[in-house]
Amino acid sequence: MKTLELVIENGLWFDGQGSEPQLRHIGVSGGRVVAVSEAPLTGHRVIDAAGKWVMPGFIDTHTHY
């Protein structure tokens, strides 16, 4: 796989399908998620999301957790 524009690594991935969240690395190119991987990815920009939730496409303007 080519080098991605952005990698969000070590985030707790919620797939939006009701599956249990999993620790994943997310690859983004052209403003779209193009890879969801258990293995590390290479990107021009890398964000460490350890301890954070990653929910692409989910927009919630007001919540109480």
Q: Which of 61, 1, 5, 52 is nearest to 33 (CA)?
A: 5
Segments in the chain below pLDDT 50 = none
| Predicted TM-score (pTM) of this structure | 0.81
Give the distance between the most distant pair of CA atoms in the chain: 39
pLDDT for residue 60: 65
Helix boundaries (H) for the chain: none
pLDDT at 18: 84
- Long-range contacts of residues 31-40, Cβ cutoff 8 Å, at least 24 apart: 34/4, 35/1, 35/4, 40/9
Q: For residue 29, what pLDDT is reported? A: 95
